[in-house]
Chain A
């Protein structure tokens, strides 16, 4: 154990020294960054459109009350400082006095209140601001958030793209904010860059907002985000320099090819808060997978190393729980189900699932939510054959087809990718809460897992403001879940940020490109 720790520590030191080396360059003003987006955003208003695609332009156009550094520490942004009352029920934000929207109108505390109300009503992540009862605005530069219970998740929820501050004088005109015409055109934002042009399926162009409240920021004059959906074409564009920057690259072969290019930096850093995980989810309410022994046997029969090395080609990290590794609430010491075919067979024998004359015990189906997961679904079939489970791989024509199947609980097992979205309250609880078993809603508790103890632990951790106590609660929860196995996490999604060597200050914090790129520059 000690040895592992030493290795990890040495590795961390090495990474840290590399990071300081990278940031040693002097930041320079000016220039246009040529970046890529892998999908077209629906529109550019993150207050009513979540997701990493809108996140990239959205976090440039809109500022949030706070931001985070790469070590999970909250930093001032639109709020230059904040106080939390001793009972944790009042959070006071002191706003920047010189902050203005892109149309020159000052950003006031009433805009904070308006933005929060809009997000509360229209954003799918309801848990972010559910405990916020009201936002008081004693003066133009002070916003007081009154809470019904202590809510430590609030700080991550006030960062990145999650609490974009939108102007009340634009979006408060009575139109539905979800389809407001100024979500795509003439966007009036609060962030370091303002919109030049958004052409769906072509590009988003933003340029420096000269009256941005942070002095000398941003460094870049412009960011041209070109929408290039084909991953192979994007790889070639990065290799030949047509594109200088791309985030969320996830195809192992392309990542490894770009790593060989000395003009490019390819790094998995920067995704800790987004927290994308791949897992095999089980239907815990119906069929053979409702038996915990069956789920455990399946986990023992799946070779994680095969997934990490043969399928992900070494680009992904080991994931053990539903919380992204490395974060403040992660518990690595859980049951890991290392490959053990004999044990898996033994468990099934003991549970009374005898092998038939064909060597098979019973049949199951496996789905997969994304085209890129087809090979691991095929692998699951091969792996489970060894323990006498006859698996049929069910392909879906597209995402809605799969979502319909899974959300209506018409499945045995499915491979899926789910994001943490910062705090466990936002992106983790939803997977296990028995109150969140909601037919028809994808990424609810579609496993239909129900354990009052886990519910209580999450409830308590959700309002625990002491981080050490909170970590202990989540640690216990992760251990129970690893034992009961409503899902078996295998790896982090190998998101990589790729940029050419003339790009400095790339967004490698915890929120990747869902954070302002005011510190990015061209060498």
Chain B
């Protein structure tokens, strides 16, 4: 019962949050100098007074700010995200078309980073002052500090140019046609470098967090008890300690889901990955308000749902979280 109430409360907050996101973003877009008519002039290589006026009238930009905002909220309430100024297509169509690519990239990177990060974290927590711990820390630091576009281009030069085993751009080769297996393999080949690049950032976060959390847990009383019981070292670490040490890592992973939009923008740009990040980037530069607001609306949804899911997962793996029910 408490769970149901908690969910209803969350949904209510989420609705208010979404409204705030829309109003705030609409306001910020309005503050930025220039508008879609300017960016269309850019794509055209020239402009005409009449046509610019016409564009502004077509998109209602000549109306007062509050009228524009009101109309937009009214439409969103009916689940209509509007029509993209730049792409001249419905925003919902555009976003839905780009979601799979971004999900594939972000989720694969997250899983890889989580698994490898946790393993590395555990490994270095076992012997916090050893050489392997030092190496892990340095690698993590490097992965976190190096700019994504730099890592990306470096990997491209190494594995697409010098040793040409991975493709440079895109998610699939339009000229590869065949069975599901052949096409899946093609996507996999395109996926490797972007995933390695993107997970290098997360990897650093997870391994450092897991290491710290693990060291704290390993020093606690119940681990001493487990040792006293004569359990093997691996049993203690993976069965008793890790389970408790994982909580903060999973909380963080849940929060990182917001990276569906933000974190992937640069990686998508370097590898021409056809996802939401590319769409968001282009829309911002071209003042394509409906598309930007649509993406922000969608990513707010993802964050909210991500937080809900994180809570549920934590309840599953950590009995302490269920205690209050």
Residues in A lying within 8 Å of B, measured CB to CB: 32, 34, 39-40, 42-43, 49-54, 122-126, 176, 178-179, 183-184, 199-203, 205, 224, 226-230, 232-234, 236-237, 239-240, 242-243, 397-405, 407, 419, 421, 427, 430, 438, 440-444
Q: Report which of A49, A226, A399, A427 forms a contact with B42, defined as CB distance below 8 A.
A: A399
Given contacts A184-B88, A233-B169, A242-B169, contact A51 B272 (CB under 8 A): no
Residue interface mask B5-49, A partner, CB < 8 A = 1: 000000000000000000000000000111110111111111111
* Stretch binding the partner chain, chosen from B230-238, B274-282, B303-311: B274-282
Q: Find chain B residues with CB under 8 A from A237 CB.
A: 160, 168-169
B245 contacts partner chain A, Cβ-Cβ < 8 Å: no
Q: Report which of A32, A184, A232, A399 forms a contact with B89, defined as CB distance below 8 A.
A: A184
A50, B46: Cβ atoms under 8 Å?
A: yes
Q: Enumerate B275-294 residues with CB–CB distance to A below 8 Å.
A: 278-279, 282, 284-287
Q: Find chain B residues with CB under 8 A from A397 CB.
A: 32
B285, A399: Cβ atoms under 8 Å?
A: yes
A400, B86: Cβ atoms under 8 Å?
A: no
Q: Report which of A123, A224, A236, A399 forms a contact with B39, defined as CB distance below 8 A.
A: A399
B170, A202: Cβ atoms under 8 Å?
A: yes
B296 contacts partner chain A, Cβ-Cβ < 8 Å: no
Q: Report which of B34, B45, B284, B286 forms a contact with A51, defined as CB distance below 8 A.
A: B45
Listed by A's residue number, 20 A-B pairs whose Cβ atoms lie within 8 Å are: A39-B43, A40-B87, A42-B88, A52-B45, A179-B83, A179-B88, A200-B87, A202-B171, A228-B168, A228-B169, A229-B272, A230-B269, A233-B156, A233-B168, A233-B270, A242-B167, A402-B34, A403-B39, A442-B42, A444-B47
B87, A236: Cβ atoms under 8 Å?
A: no
Q: Find chain A residues with CB under 8 A from B94 CB.
A: 200
B43, A42: Cβ atoms under 8 Å?
A: yes
Q: Find chain B residues with CB under 8 A from A400 CB.
A: 32-36, 38-39, 42, 286-287
Q: Report which of B87, B157, B274 forms a contact with A202, defined as CB distance below 8 A.
A: B274
Number of B residues with CB within 8 Å of any CB on chain A: 56
In the bound complex, how far is the Cα of B34 from the Cα of A402, in angstroms? 8
Closest chain-A Cβ to B290's Cβ sits at a distance in Å of 13
In the bound complex, how far is the Cα of B36 from the Cα of A49, in angstroms? 14
In the bound complex, how far is the Cα of B285 from the Cα of A399, in angstroms? 7
In the bound complex, how far is the Cα of B174 from the Cα of A49, in angstroms? 26
Given contacts A236-B168, A440-B52, contact A403 B153 (CB under 8 A): no
Q: Nearest residue in B to A407 (C-beta to C-beta)?
A: B38
Closest chain-A Cβ to B90's Cβ sits at a distance in Å of 10
A224, B175: Cβ atoms under 8 Å?
A: yes
How many inter-chain residue pairs (CB < 8 Å) link A and B? 170
Q: Find chain B residues with CB under 8 A from A202 CB.
A: 170-171, 274
B161 contacts partner chain A, Cβ-Cβ < 8 Å: yes
B164 contacts partner chain A, Cβ-Cβ < 8 Å: yes
In the bound complex, how far is the Cα of B174 from the Cα of A243, in angstroms? 13
Closest chain-B Cβ to A194's Cβ sits at a distance in Å of 16
Closest chain-A Cβ to B162's Cβ sits at a distance in Å of 9
Residue interface mask B132-160, A partner, CB < 8 A = 1: 00000000000000000100010011001
B187 contacts partner chain A, Cβ-Cβ < 8 Å: no
Closest chain-A Cβ to B154's Cβ sits at a distance in Å of 10
Given contacts A201-B278, A240-B160, A442-B47, contact A401 B52 (CB under 8 A): no
A242, B43: Cβ atoms under 8 Å?
A: no
In the bound complex, how far is the Cα of B53 from the Cα of A359, in angstroms? 47
Given contacts A201-B274, A230-B270, contact A401 B32 (CB under 8 A): yes
